[in-house]
Amino acid sequence: MSDDIAVSGHVPARVPAAPAVLRLRGRTFDAGHPAVMAIVNRTPDSFWSGSRHADLDSALDALDEAVARGADIVDVGGVRAGQEGPVVTPREEVERVVPFLAKARDRHPDLVLSLDTWRAEVAREAAQEAGIDLVNDTWAGHDRDLVHVAAQIGAGYVVSHTGGLPPRTDPVAVTYPPEPLGVVADALRTLRDGAARAVDAGVPAERVLVDPTLDFGKTTAHSLTLLRHTEAVVALGFPVLQALSRKDFVGETLDLPADDRLEGTLAATAVAAWLGATVFRAHDVRATRRVVDMVASIRGDRPAAVNVRGVPA
């Protein structure tokens, strides 16, 4: 909600438009209630060591900690995003994610559970055995059946942008002519079309997320450009997911390894939150929770938690 009243002849501050509402598992996320999506990777080889939880007990401990620190959604993946590491078959992926999801649902019945996969068969089995609320299709509809599975099971669906690259492909010599804004036009077109396909498949619009998917199929310059244009992604009319946490675009911008990318991640998070993103996929849940709530209050969408300064006792 922006303040349109000019004071003493000054131009009023411009607050970006409020985002579309997201509804999952009976919960509502919007400008005043942004969502933090914690990451639990059931893999031994994720790019950041802090998110590797191949051991089930370790993964469950990470889940409990994330919830305690303010996570609204937990996103579980069973395959490393990049091309490094061994091939993981669909059966191996199921064996990694389904037991965790089942136990997660028992431990936290109201928690929104998300599955990070590009395979319809994995999502289908996860839904049957454990129940999921969101399908995070990180590889932009590579499996054309996946969105239909999401619709059939009543889950939300994340539409992503990878520049047309297939799963587990690292970007090499990627271009989006005409530069420098070709990547924005390509992302907006892909996300708009993907969201329309999801709605046509039967996923309600309020459960469709769009994710510009920084780093995937992009150079650092591309990712920074898309981050600056988050408001244009919000204008598509669907809730926006930003997955920024400790990514290579942060590392290359600041010349830092993954272990030292927290501050850069939080700066990117604050910018995306100000520009209207709703969901933030994060390794560092508590810090992200505080940042997005603070930005929501600066925007005027969230009241302060307490108001005692200067108030009569």
Model confidence band, residue 86 (pLDDT cutoffs 50, 70, 90): confident
Q: What is the pLDDT of residues 278-307, one digit of tens each?
A: 999 999 999 999 999 999 999 999 999 999
Q: What number is the average pLDDT over the span 249-275?
A: 98
DSSP string, 194-262: HHHHHHHHT--GGGEEEE--TTTT--HHHHHHHHHTHHHHHTTSS-BEEE-TT-HHHHHHHT--GGG-H
Q: Which pLDDT belongs to residue 22?
A: 98
Model confidence band, residue 9 (pLDDT cutoffs 50, 70, 90): low
Residue 206 predicted with pLDDT over 60: yes
Q: Which pLDDT belongs to residue 121?
A: 97
Q: Which pLDDT belongs to residue 242?
A: 98
Q: What is the pLDDT of residues 209-227, one digit of tens each?
A: 999 999 999 999 999 999 9
CA distance 115 to 78: 9
Which has more confidence, 306 or 8?
A: 306
pTM exceeds cut of 0.75: yes
Closest CA to 278 of 303, 300, 296, 256: 296
Are 210 and 159 in contact by the 8 Å Cβ rule? The answer is: yes
Residue 198 predicted with pLDDT over 90: yes
* Number of separate helices (H) and strands (E) present in the chain: 10, 10
Residue 1 predicted with pLDDT over 60: no
**Proportion of the chain above pLDDT 70, given as a percent:** 94
Are 35 and 22 in contact by the 8 Å Cβ rule? The answer is: yes
Q: Give residue for tokens 């996969």.
A: 117
Cα-based torsion angle of the residue sequence 40, 258, 169, 55 in order, rounded to the nearest 10 degrees? -30
What six digits make up the tokens of 48?
């950041």
State phi, psi for 243 to the nearest 5 degrees: -105, 95
- CA-to-CA separations, 38 to 49, 60, 159, 204, 222, in angstroms, rounded: 15, 12, 18, 23, 25
Are 38 and 306 in contact by the 8 Å Cβ rule? The answer is: no
What integer best gives the mean pLDDT of the chain? 93
Q: Which pLDDT belongs to residue 8?
A: 59
**Element spanning 40, H or E:** strand 35-41
Q: All domains of the chain, ordered by start, with CATH?
A: 22-299 (3.20.20.20)
Residue 102 predicted with pLDDT over 80: yes
Residue 2 predicted with pLDDT over 60: no
What six digits make up the tokens of 219?
């150079």
Are 223 and 187 in contact by the 8 Å Cβ rule? The answer is: no
Helical spans, DSSP H, in 83-229: 90-107, 120-129, 146-153, 182-201, 220-228
Residue 262 predicted with pLDDT over 70: yes
Least confident of 79-93, 206-220, 243-257: 79-93
